[in-house]
Structure 1
Amino acid sequence: MESLPIVIQILSLIGALGFMYFITRLIVMGKLREEYSFIWIACTIILIVFSIWRKGLEQISLALGVFYPPSLIFLAAIFAIIIFLVHLSVVNSKMQQSVKELTHEIAFLRKELAELRQNEPPVSVDMPLVTEP
């Protein structure tokens, strides 16, 4: 029965390293921005540390007064998700404001272009575009 925790430890280490590879590939392909990659890399490093350091979660949970160590993982994950969602909400709000400003700018430019086209004299096909001396 002692081999079961070692198997779980190896599987969790392989899973964490696989996730690190996945995040690295997303960064290289340009599908994940660097500012968000730091969060995922930090989470993956934490997973790797706890995969290697078997008693670490128990020691940290005892120090914090948590009686069931796996619940500490869920508490930390929920806390991290809430912080990440607030961050994404702020980014989304900034982008909505930028889209609104760009939409206004395009509308003003279209109006100005329409006014310039109305005030321009019509160009005849027969008129030469370049005058020769």
Structure 2
Amino acid sequence: MSGYGFAIAASLGIVVFLVVLLRSRRVREKYAFIWIAVGIAVAILAAFPELMLGLTSLVGIQTPSNLLFSASLIVLLFVCIQLSVEVSGLEEETRTLAEEVALLRLDVERAAAAAGNPQPGPDASGPGSDASNR
């Protein structure tokens, strides 16, 4: 199998794998579509290598492999930036949820104390706490 045939088979295999992951809901659409587009682009460039030569001369790079590696690094850089944005948002959401849970717990404890039925806090050694299980 030639290098071009291997590239076509590998990229189409990755596209099929991504479609399976997408159908089983193991990956979200916004991520899968980007990778499917990259896989299809690689398959097209492998099927028609003269397109890569044309792109190389258009951009002004000496060899097609340098263009391929440069494009790959740029795509991976954008993926890292996008994932960093997602992680930052999730960290903010986790912090907000933790604060809301703490406020709700305080409200429940105050309401129980006002009703004359004090609830043990998480540090108290009540029947459900870790201190009674030791």
What residue is the counterpart of 1:68 in the other structure?
63
Choose which of 61, 78, 84 in structure 2 pairs with 1:83.
78
Select the residue among 7, 15, 34 that pairs with 2:29. Answer: 34
Q: Percent identity?
A: 23
Where does residue 130 of structure 1 map in the other structure? none
TM-score, scaled relative to structure 2:
0.83
State how far apart, in whole Å, the 1-side matches of 2:16 and 2:45 are: 18
State yes or no: 1:93 paired with 2:88: yes
RCO higher in structure (CA 8 A, sep ≥6): 1
Distance 2:89 2:21 in 1: 24
CA drift at 1:121: 4.3
CA-based RMSD of the aligned residues comes to 1.2
* CA-CA distance at 1:7 after TM superposition: 2.0
Structure 1: gaps spanning 5 or more residues: 1-5, 123-133
Report the Cα offset of residue 26 of structure 1: 0.8
Distance 2:23 2:36 in 1: 14
Quote the offset at 1:66 in angstroms: 0.6
Tell me the matched-pair count.
117
Counterpart amino acid of residue 74 in structure 1 = F
